[in-house]
Amino acid sequence: MSKAVKIGVIGAGSAQFSLGLVRDLILTESLHGSSVCFMDIDEERLDLVYRLAQRYVEELGVDLHFERSVERKAALVDADFVINMALVGGHGAEEAERDLAEGHGYYRGVREIPMQRQLAMMLSVAHDMERLCPHAWLIQSSNPVFEGCTLMTRETGVKVVGLCHGFAGYRKICRVLGIDPAEVTWQAPGFNHVIYLTDFRYRGENAYPLLDEWIATKVEHYWATYQPGYGDTDMSRSAIDQYKRLGLMPLGDTSRAFTTWWYHTALATKQYWFGPLGGFDPEIGWQMYLDKLQQNLEAIARAVRDESTPISKALPLTHSGELQLPLIDSLTNDVQLLAPGVY
C-alpha cells in the first residue's frame, strides 16, 4: 500500500540529479501520490527541471505532484523529507578553491579544502527545518557530506543522513575479477570518500584471495591496457597501493580523496597512479567531467523542448542507482533496502 509524502529538493537545478530523482519516483509505485517541491535560485534551470517532471506525469498519468520555487521555505514547509544537493557557487567556486591551494604549492588543490560556503548553507537549511518541518528527515547529497552531517547533527536536532554512492565500486572490482556481483556479499563501513571493503565474499567464501591472485598475475597487464574514465579509480595503482598498505580495498573516491598527498603532486604523478586522464581532479579529467555535465544538460533541455517526442522515449525510465528514493521508500513504507533500485 502506497503512502504519500512531501519531498523538498534544495538545489534542484542540478538537472541530471533531478532527472534521476523524478524517474526513480515514477518507478517507485509505493510513493505515488507524493508531492515534490523543487527549489533553486537559478530560475532557468529550475523551470527546466519542473517542465521535465510535468512532461513525465502528463504523459504517463502518474499520480505525482510537482511544484517549483526560488524560496527555500516553500520546499520545507510540511516536508517529510528534504534532499539537499545544492552546491553554493557551482563548479566555478571549486575552481577558485583549487587556485587558492595551488598558490600554496598543492597541484589542483587536492580538493579537500574545508568548504565554508557549503557548510554555512547546510547549517542554515537544518536550522530552517527545525522551524518549518522539525520531524522531517534531511538527506544530505552534496559535499562535504561527512563534515556537513557532523556539523548539522551537533548544532541542530534535525534527523540527518548523508548519502554517498562510492560503495558501488565493489561492482567494478567484481567485473575485473570476473565474478558475478549478484553472488557477492560485502560490507563497506566508513564515511564519505573514506570507504573500505571490510568484508568481501563470493559464494560465501572470502573473495580477497581472488583479488590477491589477480594482483599477482594480471594487474600489470591491466594497468598497461585499461582506459579508465575520469572518475574510475577503483582498480587503479592508487587503489591497489592502499590495499597493500592497509589490507582492505578502498572503494569509490577513497583512493584519490584520502590524505595520500604523494598521489597528487603533479599531472604526471596522477597519471601514473590513476591512468592516462590522471583521475577526476586534474585539468584533463575535470574538463571531461564538466563537458559531460553540459552535454547532459543540453540533452535534457532538447528532450523537454521537443514536445513531438514522448519524454519517456527521449529519456527512458531507468533507475538512477542513487539511494535517495529507495531510502525514502524504506523509511516510509517499511520496505527493506537492499541496493539502489533493488528490493
Residues with catalytic function: 165, 253
CA atoms of 125 and 102, how far apart (whole Å)? 31
Backbone φ, ψ for residue 197 (5° rounding): -80, 90
Q: Find residue 140's DSSP bridge partners.
A: 84, 162
3-state secondary structure string across 82-137: EEECCCCCHHHHHHHHHHHHHCCCCHHHCCCCCCHHHHHHHHHHHHHHHHHCCCCE
Q: What share of the chain is helix, strand, coil (3-state, %, to 5)?
A: 50, 15, 35
Entry field: residues in the chain: 343
Q: Residue 225: how many CB atoms within 10 A of its CB? A: 7
CA atoms of 12 and 16, how far apart (whole Å)? 9
Calculate the CA dihedral of residues 137, 189, 251, 273 and round it to 10 degrees.
120
Please tell me whether the peptide bond between 181 and the residue prior to it is cis, using omega within 30 degrees of 0.
no
Backbone φ, ψ for residue 279 (5° rounding): 85, -155
CA atoms of 326 and 337, how far apart (whole Å)? 6
CA atoms of 243 and 130, how far apart (whole Å)? 42
Whether the Cβ atoms of residue 255 and residue 277 lie closer than 8 Å to each other: no
Query: Given the DSSP bridges, would you call strands 184-187 and 81-84 parallel, antiparallel or unpaired?
Result: unpaired
Question: Which residues does 276 contact at the CB level (< 8 Å), separation at least 6?
Answer: 227, 228
